[in-house]
Structure formats: structure tokens, C-alpha cells
Amino acid sequence: MEIPDIKWGELPFGYVQTDYNVRCTFKDGKWGEIEVSDSEYVPLHIASTCLHYGQESFEGLKAYRGVDGKVRVFRMEENAKRFIRSAEGISMQPLPVEKFCEMVRMVVKLNARFIPPYGTGASLYIRPFELGISPRVGVSPATEYMVIMLVSPVGPYFKTGFKPCKVCLSRDYDRVAPKGTGSIKIGGNYAASLVAGEKAHKLGYAVMLYMDPKEKKYLDECGAANFFGIKGDKYITPDSESILPSITNKSLRQLAEDMGMTVERRHVPYEELTEFEETGNCGTAAVISPIGEIHDLDNGNVFVYCKDGEPGPKSTKLYKKLIGIQYGEEKDEHGWCEILDVE
């Protein structure tokens, strides 16, 4: 492929064709060798379980070109473990952690020229996904699976980047079922969120903030990201069985504690929206996206956070610390980054 003319600083969060993806197939009861492909397509049997019964899971993590020129991947073992939980949650064959990490290292190395330069604010998004590929007509799990990892250089998930965004809240939509698949990362959850997401976009909001699907009393997820609020020196984030355990949120909780804040992970009642000084959503794609306003579509309530249009001081401190570690500017005290052998 010719060297593409990429304006790194202007990249959206989107798909860019790169040189290679890596693949690994589970067949005859075992995972095979990792294969390198330059095709953007997957040959699939027309009766594959991934096509009919949603046997598909995915992950998202990033590689960063640091201030020292080195390439770091953030907490990939955590993604590997969640990938296993997702596979098990929809009766798919789990990929061993070491194989996951080996595939990540390989796909980044093979596409090294697509890792955005330091200082552009962009990074290389790594998207592992698993498919059930055996043909079935009755509803039952496949016996053969394929894991593919593709990469794409990306910019910020929300157009505003690290600037306050507007979010809407509605009780008319459930992201996932309480005892369903909300705490794992499977494609079906995202299909189910498209109508609510499109509604939010049409009304001019970045994303939909969901309420808990059981009682509609507690805050749940914020689109494809976790929600957090800051009250005094407390970092508060919802906990429920319908929330995906975010690796970014887990890291922010640790950083908040390191900064002397108290962390509370618990049910967060709607009424608490009036008490937060700062709110935000967080995730690999979103990093931290501060929330400036939350509009309740059901009763007209409006909650305003960033009155001066700027992110709050604690969110800013957490954001800087997190990206500082990822870009090699800050000491990686918790050993979250793996430096890859990439030029």
C-alpha cells in the first residue's frame, strides 16, 4: 500500500485502512498459529453463528507513541481478561491471555507506520474481535471461532475532545438487560444502543446517559463509556450488573486514590446529579470527556457543570495524569504500559 497522506492532528475516531491485520482460528479443539493478512475481508459461511445469533465480541485498546519515541500499549492484559469474560458470556471459545497479547504486539508492529506521532493527540486504536464461524441453523454455539485484530489511527471519540460535551438522559431506553450481557463487550449490546444514540445525535447531544434498566433510579452508562462524578474530594462512579467494567475507569479510580481522593463505586441515584461539581464519561475511545450539561428529556431538568465552558480542575488533573502515563511523560508507577519493540 502507498504511504497514505494522513493529517494526524485532524484524525476523527474512524476507520483508516492499514497494512495488515492478524488472525487466529480455533478449530479441532485448539487455537492455531497466528496468521497475517492484508485483506480487509473475512470469508464467512453464510450460516455462521456470528451472522445469525450474534456470537461476536470485541475489545478496544490503544498504542501510543511517547515523548521518548517509544511505543506503549496500555493495560492489555486487562483487555485480554475481559475478552475471555465476553467470550464465556456468549458461549464462545476464550482466547488465552498470552495469545491475545502476542497478537496485539504483532499487529502494532506490523502497522508501525500508522502509529500517530507524539504530540498530535492521536493514537493507534487496536480492535480485537471474535466470531463464531461454524454453520448452525438451530440456536447453539459454534465449535469453530476466529479472532481478528485490526488497527486504525484515531483522534478523539467526541468531536469536542477534552472540552465539555452535552449529554441527554432518557428513561425510554435500556442499554442492556440487568441479567443479560451488559457487563461484557459483545456487538449485540451496541446494536441495541443505536436507536438511543441516533436520537441523542439528532437532538444535538454527544451521547445518551442511560438510567438503570430495573428501577430507572440510578445512573448507568453514558453511551459507550462509563460515567463519573466528582463531589469535593470524592470520585464517584456507578456500579451495577448492567455496566461494562471500564479499564479506563479502573485506572482513574486508582489515580484518584493516588491523588488523595476517596473513590466510591456504588449505585448513584439520579438526585445526586445536582450535587456533583464535575461530571464526565470515560473509556478507551473517549479517554475522559467532560460533561458540560445533562438534559433530562423526560422532565426538562437541566444539570450544568462547566459554567465557564472549561473542564473542571479534578477531571483535568486526572486526564493529564492518565494521558501522561500513556504518552510516557509521567512515571508509570503501576506498571500499566508495555513498551513494544517497535521502531
Interface residue list for ligand PLP (CB under 6 A):
60, 221, 224-226, 244, 246-249, 283-284
Across-strand partners of 303? 294
Q: Which of 116, 283, 311, 312 binds ligand COI (CB under 6 A)?
A: 283
Asked if 149 and 127 count as a contact pair (C-beta separation under 8 A), the reply is yes
Binding mask 178-217 for ligand COI (x = CB under 6 A): ----------------------------------------
- Minimum distance between the CB of residue 317 and ligand COI, rounded to whole angstroms? 21
Q: Measured between alpha carbons, how far apart are the two ends of the chain, in Å?
A: 19
150 binds, among ligand COI, ligand PLP, none (CB under 5 to 8 A by kind): none
Considering only residues 50-109, where is the footprint of ligand COI by CB under 6 A?
60
Give dist(CA 16, CA 142) in Å, integer: 31
Asked if 233 and 260 count as a contact pair (C-beta separation under 8 A), the reply is yes
Nearer to ligand COI, 167 or 224 (CB): 224
Nearer to ligand PLP, 238 or 292 (CB): 238
Is 155 a residue that touches ligand COI (CB under 6 A)?
no
Nearer to ligand COI, 101 or 143 (CB): 101
Determine the size of the site formed for ligand COI (CB under 6 A). 5
Give dist(CA 282, CA 226) in Å, integer: 5
- Minimum distance between the CB of residue 285 and ligand COI, rounded to whole angstroms? 3
How many CA atoms, within 13 angstroms, populate the side-chain half-sphere of residue 300?
A: 0
Q: Which stretch binds ligand COI (CB under 6 A): 92-100, 136-144, 148-156, 283-291?
A: 283-291
Contacts of 131 (CB under 8 A, 6+ apart): 42, 44, 48, 50, 55, 56, 145, 146, 147, 148
Is 284 a residue that touches ligand COI (CB under 6 A)?
yes
Q: Which stretch binds ligand COI (CB under 6 A): 22-30, 94-102, 260-268, 280-288?
A: 280-288
Give the CA diameter of the chain: 60
The full length of the chain comes to 343
170 binds, among ligand PLP, ligand COI, none (CB under 5 to 8 A by kind): none
Q: Grid coordinates 453514558 are at which residue? A: 222
- Minimum distance between the CB of residue 59 and ligand COI, rounded to whole angstroms? 7
What cell was used for 298? 423526560
Give dist(CA 289, CA 157) in Å, integer: 9
Q: Which of 149, 285, 306, 318 binds ligand COI (CB under 6 A)?
A: 285
Q: Is 283 exposed, middle or buried (0-12, 13-18, 19+ CB in 10 A)?
A: buried
Q: Which residues bind ligand COI (CB under 6 A)?
A: 60, 224, 283-285
